[in-house]
Structure 1
Amino acid sequence: MIGRWIFVRERALTRRGWLVLAGLTVAGLLALVPLRLAIGLAAPETVTARSIEGSVWGGRIGDLRIGPLPLGTLDAGLKPLPLLLGRAEFALMRDGPAPFAASASASGSGVRLTGVNGVVTLPDGMGGLPVTSLSFGDLSVTMANGRCAEAEGTMGMTLASPGLLLPDAISLSGKARCEGGSLVVPMQGPGGMERLTMRVAGDGRWQADLVLMGLPAEATSPLVQGGFTARPGGIGIGTSGQF
């Protein structure tokens, strides 16, 4: 029995054995890391949550918010493959009637979001606009050194009716791109008469400008009294904020 133990011990001292042992040790230590600690180290200061439970490989974040943007309660876990490349990337997911999924990573130079899909409800609107929800379709954005470095996919908004004479909600969508160092998403409604341009700077400041065209005079007048101003071909309103 002693001889067999010595044989096994000698095999474990080979280079390959040491690598396996080191890998198992690291994996074991990572399995004990709380998700709360990992999120605290990796997330920017604007990311807050009511609660964070579970391990780094699989836990739950309660009432996650990015600035004023409420993402709700999500399942979260560290993705193994990016970790091998030296990047801490978290998978975020929510099932149910309002599903949402995304991968997020942060470093000293910026933030990277990939595979963002789903809907986020905005009960408090968005600045001065009555935005009820945001939608995402395979959206990916990389912000590096305070500038938009890469963007693709689609983003949409649903706005509540802006006036009594416009009873229907307004739905807009468009493709994301980088422009002048900012994330820019020019959106329009199905008929092309509603347009909104969303701009997000690298520091999280955002601007949204809504233009409505082709409205009858009886619908335009109340909106102008409510803060809309004349624009080429219609009326518009702008708002801004900080993520």
Structure 2
Amino acid sequence: MNARRFILARLRDLQGRLAMRRVLRHASDYPADIARAEWEQSLHAPTAFYLRAFCYFHRHLPEAVRQHRRYFASKRRGFGEDAFHTMWFLLFREFKPATFLEIGVYRGQVISLAALLARHLNFTCEVHGLSPFTSAGDEVSRYRAGLDYLADTLRNFDHFHLPRPRLLKAFSTDPVARDYVRSKTWDAIYIDGSHDYPVVKQDWDLCAQSLRPGGIIVLDDAALFTTYQPPVFASKGHPGPSRLAEEIDPQAFREILQVGHNRVFQKL
């Protein structure tokens, strides 16, 4: 990174921290919980709901869940945003999925959070991850080279004393990966793999077929065409997933929650 990029990155980080402080000044304005009946607000006023989810993370989430986020945010172990931990907490509290699959694991932030939430909420969840576990990127993403992503993911599970997940090292478009997804009827799936539209569409079509009725799919980076206006410390997503989200059949899936660029669809 050259000096100019370094300075710009530091300035963006400072702007983000200042914006977070401003938002948290209003944290006491919100109720202490986010009830299931209030999720509908996220679809009509996604920006306001995102800020509420962000404040909920800092004021009301269990400390173990906040520690998990801090661990992955440090040393760039994971991407995402604080409010997404709120989203996963709400989803796991509501649905208590017995089977969970993530496509695009990176270093294990979300699948380890799934295991952590199942433990915290006292239910059994079989956690699966499908990923190349390499630095392979896409049209909008580049990842660190020289890291054993599979070993790193397992180390991160061990750090939290979590049962190890079931992992498949493959691209989601590989035949072995497609067979793996078809091998179960899933309760909850997180699509966070390639952001290239053709791959996102293949991932969605495959997962939609393998999801049980009433199950949920969380689509990452999918809010470009919504009314959501992110604060400076957040992102609206990418073209591929956002385009796919607009094409989802409302007769087959109903959107039930949006937290930032993460959108949650329930199979009818």
- Both structures adopt the same fold (TM-score exceeding 0.5): no
More helix as a share of residues: 2
TM (normalized to structure 1)? 0.27
Give the number of the structure with larger relative contact order, counting CA–CA contacts within 8 Å between residues 6 or more apart: 2
Bigger CA radius of gyration: 1
